[in-house]
Structure 1
């Protein structure tokens, strides 16, 4: 049974659905949840922005603050449901790793029994150029992975 459930979140609808699925798992196993969120380096964000035509003006400090807020909101939501959850913010060094790599490394270090991750369903050129965290994690993982579709919008 999945007793150590790592959920990678980014504040999006798909990641909120991933939290909901983790709640179902923890209800069955009475296990633990660790919420993780990755702060990309500014260099990576600007590179992605160049491909998409959008270049953000935020600073790295702003990304960290937003990520901490995402983790805090998710932790508070789980607490309201009667579930205690750990949180961890992970900073991604410029150009050294992909988000999928650091999520897998965190899952391995923590001893996760399963990783739960929402999918964003990017298509076309954007997916080709930017890749997909879920797709990359699916290819490299050594830990069971539950992918949660974004759902209808």
Structure 2
């Protein structure tokens, strides 16, 4: 049923708390591949971008550096994982996180998305928003959210 699992990561310890669950499911279900994904928001989409102090070349360099850091993070993480026969892939995407993840999953035949969530509620959820919630609402692919108690990382 599930052959391709996507795991969105933001570089935080909290996001990585989902990995033992991914390993267990991937091995138990005989999953073909797990795709570790990091979305980098282009500098041009940030409010600071309107500052005339930044040239187009500087903006491009900032984006290239952010992408390189994200790729290095995923490559280092993937090299530490051993899911047996499950193929581990990495992908760095550019855009707004929830929308970009939903689009990627739909276009690349992802069967299941597994991600950690802060489990915020009330005003903190309203003020801070939630990539997990937006992804859950916008994705046509099933999303399994794992609340990560005990993790202290911040996404």
Q: TM-score, normalised by structure 2?
A: 0.76
2:76 to 66, 70, 73: 73
Q: CA RMSD in A?
A: 2.3
- 1:62 and 1:122 map into 2 onto residues whose CA distance is 31
C-alpha spacing 1:43/1:124, structure 2 compared with 1 (3 Å): farther
Structure 2 unpaired stretches of 5+? 49-60
Structure-2 residue corresponding to 1:87: 90
Structure 1 unpaired stretches of 5+? 48-57, 93-97
Structure-2 residue corresponding to 1:118: 116
Q: TM-score, normalised by structure 1?
A: 0.77
C-alpha spacing 1:90/1:129, structure 2 compared with 1 (3 Å): same
How many residues are paired up? 137
Aligned partner of residue 93 in structure 2, secondary structure: strand
Larger Rg belongs to: 2
CA contact (8 A) 2:98 2:134 kept: yes
